[in-house]
Structure 1
Amino acid sequence: MAKRVKRINYNKWGYYFVAPFIIVYILFSLIPLLSTFYYSFFEYYYAQGGFIKVGPNFNGIENYIKLFSQGLFFKYLGNTLILWIMGFIPQIIISLLLALWFTSFRLKIKGKAFFKTVMYMPNLVMAAAFSMLFVQLFSNTGGLTTLLMDMNILPESFSFVDEVWPTRALIAAMNFIMWFGNTTILLMAGIMGIDDSLIESASVDGANSFQVFYKIILPLLKPILLFVLVTSLVGGVQMFDIPFVFTRGTGGPQGSSQTIMMYISGLLRTSKQYDMAGTASVVLFLITSVISLSFFAVMNREEIVEFREQRRLAKEHKK
């Protein structure tokens, strides 16, 4: 009787390799996330300067009613979205132009690796350090502010940090400078993944650069654009360090640059309101999810319509 050879199963090694990530994710992400949802339905805070613990006492949706009635959440959420949009629109436009420029088979630009490194370098600088640099440049006695006043470009009474829109513009500019290089590299990777024969064939057939971009490159870039849009949105609503350091934690003039994460951080830092901070975090998570799904639906509406049509035809065929 032939001796049976024991087969070696290598599948278990895949589980061993991913186990550390799963364990860390459960301990430091999933459990805190679930506890945030849990405490959003409880009264749980520290009173009298943090010396007396109150709760946790179940109070249903009272925290959500209180959050919506105060109106501060939506005010700071609006500030956050304004700052994100002001930084993201020029970021996606310039990044797309640079990506098209560096990947053009006609231009054949030399030194692409050098330019990629230079563009990505601001992303390696800590946001707090970046904010401190802008504070030194654009404060009332900052270098650039003084220079512009000496050149009579700005009136002597002008102050970047005391005006609503100049403060927002500088925060948006910092976000743009820090992240446009990363976005450019992602878009370049997406464009280089497109078959060159499609672009060359369209050019041979007489299509101009705009037609090639609009009819070929842009549709094939939709997955990368969706990824950039969603990740930028998630990073935008979590904006904290740049506006906090630049405005010295005050939120800027009239609280116009106070972001939603600064608001949540204030709830935890000053009065340790774990209940309201958790409630605000849950609402922010739901709003971000809805907006992200809306982006997905809009950018993939043709595929969704086609999928629904296929399902309808399949049901009719079964009948």
Structure 2
Amino acid sequence: MRRKNVNYSKYGYIFTFPFVLAFLIFSLYPILYTAVIGFTDMKGIIPKPIHILDNPFQNFKDLLFDNPSFRKSLINTGLLWITNFVPQMLLALLLTAWFTNKRLNIKGQGLFKVLLYMPNIITASTIAVLFSTLFAYPMGPVNSLFQMLGWTDAPVFFLQDKTTARGIVAFIQFWMWYGNTMIVLIAGVMGINPALFESASIDGANGFQTFFRITLPSLRTILLFTLITSMVGGLTMFDIPQLFLAGGPDDSTLTTSMFIYGQAFKGSYMYNRAAAASMIMFLISAILAGILFYVMRDRDASRLKKIQKQKNRKAAIAAREGGVTHGK
């Protein structure tokens, strides 16, 4: 039995304190420190006095207008994300519709889900070695298969072609993450009220209508979560491009995270430039996230809120006018 006059709320603060402390030390402080470094002349492996630049935005200006490598990394990052995310979402939605369709009643769903999710639990280094071996020149399995089928007369150096290299990296990202996206979407579908599907079935809706009129609208929040996490993951893509091709060939798979790492920890140790690039990516992420939140907002709820505000405003005006009349 709960005792009287006992304040249990303090235990909540006690339990959350370790997380808050860790967040302040290992997340918030580095972010703020990075933001400050972006406006300074901090560089070099030997510690030197740090000064704010005469033009505080000089590092940002140099990156955006005078640094072709950074602009190229931005383009590469966008291309790699879009070319892996679009098919990833389409396939994940297709598999979600397939596995959650009661009419199909697919047998062995658990096994299929495990197999489809499995690439996500394989380490990036293992996958990089696997695909390096598959597309090896001149005796890799893919080259051997192509020559056996007569598709090529001589071995092809796949990893030296820019377009092919980008395509392989995008495919790896797609292959690694579509299973994870599928699991998240299936979990979202399982949270939808079954009565909605039963009502649709009684009303004669087919599978196509049910999916697009009930399932997708009900998954708005889950889709927003998937879009945001995928966007952040895509903009911070590092492990596969770095381990697989180290940004090559000719920087065709160089991502912004790799550029930042190279600026900060290789060569001249341009910490100020790396920090400025990090802040640019932070702003890009924030803007894109804001756009996604706006596009994926619940329009019906927003409309109802506006109507309610108008009613409240009219009621307040009417009450004010009534009070004035009564006073007279």
Does TM-score exceed 0.5, indicating one fold? yes
Structure 1 residue 111: Cα displacement: 2.5
> What secondary structure does 1:255 align onto?
coil
Counterparts in 2 of 1:312 and 1:61: CA distance versus 1, 3 Å? farther
Residue of 109, 122, 125 corresponding to 1:125: 122
Deviates more, 1:255-264 or 1:149-158: 149-158
The alignment's C-alpha RMSD in Å is: 1.8
> What secondary structure does 1:45 align onto?
coil
Task: State percent identity of aligned pairs.
Answer: 39
Aligned to 2:39: 41
Aligned to 2:75: 78
Residue of 49, 52, 57 corresponding to 2:51: 57
Aligned to 1:108: 105
Aligned to 1:171: 169
CA contact 1:42–1:55 (8 Å) conserved in 2: no
- The yes-or-no answer on 1:91 pairing with 2:88 is yes
CA contact 1:41–1:275 (8 Å) conserved in 2: yes
Counterparts in 2 of 1:70 and 1:306: CA distance versus 1, 3 Å? farther
Counterparts in 2 of 1:304 and 1:283: CA distance versus 1, 3 Å? farther
Aligned to 2:257: 261
Point out where structure 1 has 5 or more consecutive residues left out of the alignment: none
Aligned to 1:139: 136
- Deviation string 1:175-206 (CA, Å, 9 cap, x unpaired) is 11111111111100111111222112212212
CA contact 2:143–2:155 (8 Å) conserved in 1: no
Point out where structure 2 has 5 or more consecutive residues left out of the alignment: 318-328
Counterparts in 2 of 1:156 and 1:305: CA distance versus 1, 3 Å? farther
> Aligned letter for 2:103?
R
> What secondary structure does 1:108 align onto?
coil
Alignment partners' CA distance in 1, 2:200 and 2:99: 19
Structure 1 residue 16: Cα displacement: 1.8
Structure 1 residue 139: Cα displacement: 2.1
CA contact 2:147–2:155 (8 Å) conserved in 1: no
Give the structure-1-normalised TM-score.
Answer: 0.91
> Aligned letter for 1:299?
M
Displacement over 6 Å in runs of 4+: none
Write the mapping of 1:110-259 to structure 2, written as runs, cut at 5 A: 110-141=107-138, 142-156=140-154, 158-247=156-245, 249=246, 251-259=247-255
- Deviation string 1:212-253 (CA, Å, 9 cap, x unpaired) is 111111111110001000000000111011011111x2x223
Normalized per residue, which structure has more strand?
1
Alignment partners' CA distance in 1, 2:147 and 2:99: 38
Structure 1 residue 108: Cα displacement: 1.8
Alignment partners' CA distance in 2, 1:308 and 1:160: 56
Counterparts in 2 of 1:214 and 1:194: CA distance versus 1, 3 Å? same
> Aligned letter for 2:295?
V
> Aligned letter for 1:61?
F
Aligned to 2:323: none
Deviates more, 1:24-33 or 1:53-62: 53-62
Query: What is the aligned residue count?
Result: 309
Alignment partners' CA distance in 2, 1:95 and 1:177: 11
CA contact 1:131–1:245 (8 Å) conserved in 2: yes
> What secondary structure does 1:7 align onto?
coil
CA contact 1:264–1:277 (8 Å) conserved in 2: yes
> What secondary structure does 2:41 align onto?
strand
- Deviation string 1:43-70 (CA, Å, 9 cap, x unpaired) is 1001xxx45x444110111111211222
Alignment partners' CA distance in 2, 1:308 and 1:157: 65
Structure 1 residue 305: Cα displacement: 4.7
Give the structure-2-normalised TM-score.
Answer: 0.89
